[in-house]
Amino acid sequence: MSKVADMRRFPGFLQLTLLCLLVLYAPLMVVMAYSFNDNTSITIWGGFSLRWYEDVFFGVEAPKFKQAALNSLTIAVMAATCATVIAVSSAVAMMRARRLRGRTASFALINLPLMVPEIVTAVASLIFFSAIGFTTGYATILVAHIVFCIPFAYLPIAARMQSIEDTYEQAAMDLYATPAQAFRLVLLPLMMPGIFSGFLLAFIISLDDFLITNFVKGAGIETLPTAIFGSVKQGIKPNIMAISTLLLLVSVGFVTLSYLASRMGQNKTKT
């Protein structure tokens, strides 16, 4: 090797990166592997089997988990949709209005759910809902989810808008488009990759949430994370590992989707 070294490289950094990946992936890989274990005892390997997946879909606890999954899914879709609509509207105001009173305050407000620790948000929501006499349940979960999804939807949308010059809208207006048409025909299509990423991010964040949901859900309703938590409290069972693996795959699928969408967006606007 020559003495003239690449100044970018440092010895040992590759090893640390691999260690980083090992720490991140080892637990997930192990759980994935053991979800195919054909043994009631979770510790001893008893050969490959799909019995725990069968158990997830058709077992004793299947109806409970199915209902929880359905709740998680519908809440995530609705919360992400509302959060995305609010985020788009806010992003347009924040990034396009030349004069906006309280821009800094608005920025802080939109990001507030990121700044307040989750447990504090959970406590505050519980107190608020109980104080105004709002019955805890499906609706309270949905409202709480919309709130903390907003900044997650906002960030990619605002980032996307920042890279769209306002000359596009000016050009549209110059070519006789009304402000509404300029928004619908030009800005909205250009923002689409950001909106898509924002929606996916909000969706996953909603699906992911345990702590806030656990506080505001009330009795009698479970989302997937609260159901899993409740089950894990009595010890890790193999069916939980199968559910975890399934959820893991869903997450990976969404990340890939979001990654592809952002790449498509980049290709289109590259000039």
Footprint (CB under 8 A) of other proteins, residues 184-203: 185-186, 189-190
Q: Assess 80 for contact with other proteins (CB under 8 A).
A: no
How far is it, in rounded angstroms, from Cα 37 to Cα 52?
A: 8
Q: Assess 150 for contact with other proteins (CB under 8 A).
A: yes
How far is it, in rounded angstroms, from Cα 258 to Cα 262?
A: 6
Which range of residues in 47-55, 57-65, 73-81, 163-171 is near other proteins by CB under 8 A?
163-171
Query: Crossing angle of helices 188-208/238-269, nearest 10°?
Result: 170
Which range of residues in 16-24, 46-54, 62-70, 73-81 is near other proteins by CB under 8 A?
16-24
How far is it, in rounded angstroms, from Cα 129 to Cα 125?
A: 6
How far is it, in rounded angstroms, from Cα 96 to Cα 262?
A: 22
Window 240 to 269, contacts with other proteins (CB under 8 A): 240-241, 244, 247-248, 251-252, 254-255, 259, 268-269
Q: Assess 62 for contact with other proteins (CB under 8 A).
A: no
Question: How near is the Cβ of 42 to other proteins at its closest, in Å?
Answer: 7
Helix or strand run (H / E) with residue 257: helix 238-269
Question: How near is the Cβ of 147 to other proteins at its closest, in Å?
Answer: 5
Cα 91-94-98 angle, rounded to 5 deg? 135
Which residue of 1, 2, 3, 9 would you call a contact of other proteins, by CB under 8 A? 9
Binding residues for other proteins, total number by CB under 8 A: 111
Q: Assess 101 for contact with other proteins (CB under 8 A).
A: yes
Token pair belonging to 3: 């003495």
Strands (E) across 73-164 are located at none
